[in-house]
Each structure stands twice: as C-alpha cells, then as structure tokens.
C-alpha cells in the first residue's frame, strides 16, 4: 500500500501528519537522487578530460579551474554523504539540492566551452566529425606524437589503415613515406610527408598529399596503358599499381575506346563494333 492510498484512507487521521512528512521526504529523495545521478554522470565524463588532458588544460584554463572547483566540492560532498549512508540523511540535508544544481550548471559551462573548442578543430579538419569527442580529445592531446595519432587514421579516412613512417633512430617517428589500406595494400607518397605543427593542420596536409599522390599515380597508370601487349601484358601491368587506380585507368581506356568505336561507326566503318567486341 503506497502513501497516497494510505493518506486517502478514512483511518489515517491519527497519523496524517506522519504520512505528509513521509510524502515530502520521499519526494525530496527522488528529486535529489535525480540531480545526484546527473552530476555523477557528467562529472565522470569530463573528469578525465579536464584533469588528465594537458592539451585541454592549456587551451581552456578558465574552464579547467571551474571544473577543478566543482571536482573538489563534489568529492567533499561524496565524503560527507559516505559518513551516513542512509538515503534519507544523504538526500534531505538542507541545501543539498541547490548545491547539486550548481554543480550541474558549472559542469554544463565546462562542457559548452569544450564543445566550442572541439568544433573549431572540426571546422579546420572536417574529418574530425567522423570520430567521437573522446577519440578527438586523444588525438589533440597527442598531436605532437604522430605515431599515436596514426592509430586513429582509419577513423578519419575510410579505407585507410595507417601511415608508414620512416625510421629515424631513437627519435619519434614524424616523417611518413606512404599509406596502408585496410586490406594491406600499400601506396608510397610521391614525396615524404612530415607531421609537424598543429595536428588538425598536418592532417589537412596529409589529405592533400594523398590526393596529389593518387592523382600522380592515375596519370602514370593511364599513360602506360599504351604499352599493353607491347612491352608488358595487361595482367602484369595491373601489378604495378594499386587496384583502385588500375581499375580507374582501365575504365578510362574502355570509355575512350567506346567513344572511338562509335565515332568510327558514324564515319562509315561497318566492322568497328565487331572489332571492339572482339577486343573486349
């Protein structure tokens, strides 16, 4: 039997005050616990960011101080609550709901500043939208460690697994000479690429390096198709290029030959289509 049912009973007059008191107490417990859980979830999500990420602490000093203050007060509140684990005592302390509401407000300000900071990085390198905020924070905090950033390359570039770095003795690897696809296929850059500066900037440079490399390879692949069945059979030619670009070059040649065949037909060559079908 719940309190509302008991309160409505005609036999409850003698303990009406006690029922009303318990209704108020339980309502407070419910309201405070909702706030408590919200603070805990938000604090757990941001605590490793504002207290452990040197990059965020350097970029958002005021919000870091704000979070440190909340962190200290939150831990003090938890210590105080642990002294009397009874839920009634823990939740019905005067002003506890107001304190929790202040925590939520302060943490929301920290999170807003964090999201604005991350949004700036995403605008510079839009592929950051493909990764979670937690992964992005790890990338930003390890921007001066390209090997660590390399672990997230596949999240930014679909189909790419990672970069291949040039060994530089005991020094951290910073210069990449090529890239691996997720299936293990390797493509060398047209020139070595050095990861330096802000991570969002050198990833933009990496994207351009990839584009320039693929553009250079497809031009070379297309130009060498003239050697099919002269210097090198087509099946051997395929081994010289990554599969995607070999296929693209082949499709370009097929399109050119198809257009040429129709031009020959219009010029009166009755055997043009038969010869083309035989070629295919």
Give the residue from 242, 249, 247, 244 showing the smallest Cα distance to 221: 249
What one-character DSSP code corresponds to residue 168?
A: -
Chosen CATH of 3-124 out of 1.20.140.100, 1.10.8.60, 3.30.70.120, 3.40.50.2300: 1.20.140.100
Write out the chain's pLDDT in tens, 280 residues: 465 555 555 555 555 566 567 677 778 888 889 999 999 999 998 998 888 878 888 899 999 999 999 999 999 999 988 887 788 877 877 788 899 999 999 999 999 999 999 999 999 999 999 999 889 988 988 888 899 999 999 999 998 999 999 987 777 788 999 999 999 999 999 999 999 988 999 999 999 999 999 999 999 999 888 777 677 778 888 888 989 899 999 899 888 888 888 887 778 777 777 777 766 6
pLDDT of the residue at 93: 79
For 26-66, give the DSSP string: HHHHHHHHHHHHHHHHHHHHHHHHHHH-HHHHHH-HHHHHH
pLDDT of the residue at 15: 54
pLDDT of the residue at 119: 95
How many C-beta atoms lie closer than 10 Å to residue 260's C-beta?
A: 12
* Domain ranges for the chain: 3-124
pLDDT of the residue at 18: 65
pLDDT of the residue at 223: 87
């Amino acid at each position: 039997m719940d309190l509302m049912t008991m309160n409505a009973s005609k036999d409850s007059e003698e303990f009406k005050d006690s029922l009303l008191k318990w209704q108020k107490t339980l309502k407070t417990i419910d309201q405070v616990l909702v706030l408590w859980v919200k603070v805990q979830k938000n604090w757990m999500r941001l605590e490793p960011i504002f207290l452990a990420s040197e990059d965020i602490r350097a970029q958002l000093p005021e919000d870091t101080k704000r979070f440190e203050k909340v962190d200290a007060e939150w831990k003090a509140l938890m210590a105080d609550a642990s002294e009397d684990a009874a839920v009634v005592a823990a939740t019905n302390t005067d002003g506890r709901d107001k304190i929790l509401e202040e925590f939520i407000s302060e943490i929301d300000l920290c999170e807003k500043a964090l999201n604005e900071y991350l949004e700036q990085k995403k605008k510079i390198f839009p592929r950051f939208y493909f990764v979670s905020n937690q992964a992005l924070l790890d990338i930003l905090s390890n921007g001066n460690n390209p090997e660590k950033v390399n672990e997230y390359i596949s999240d930014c570039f679909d189909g790419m697994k990672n970069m291949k770095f040039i060994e530089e003795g005991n020094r951290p690897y910073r210069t990449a000479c090529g890239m691996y696809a997720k299936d293990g296929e390797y493509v060398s850059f047209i020139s070595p690429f050095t990861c330096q500066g802000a991570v969002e900037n050198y990833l933009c440079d990496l994207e351009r390096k990839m584009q320039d490399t693929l553009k250079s390879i497809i031009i070379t692949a297309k130009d060498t198709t003239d050697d099919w069945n002269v210097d090198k059979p087509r099946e051997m030619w395929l081994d010289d290029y990554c599969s995607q670009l070999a296929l693209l070059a082949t499709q370009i040649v097929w399109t050119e030959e198809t257009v040429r065949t129709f031009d020959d037909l219009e010029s009166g060559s009755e055997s043009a289509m038969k010869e083309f079908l035989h070629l295919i």
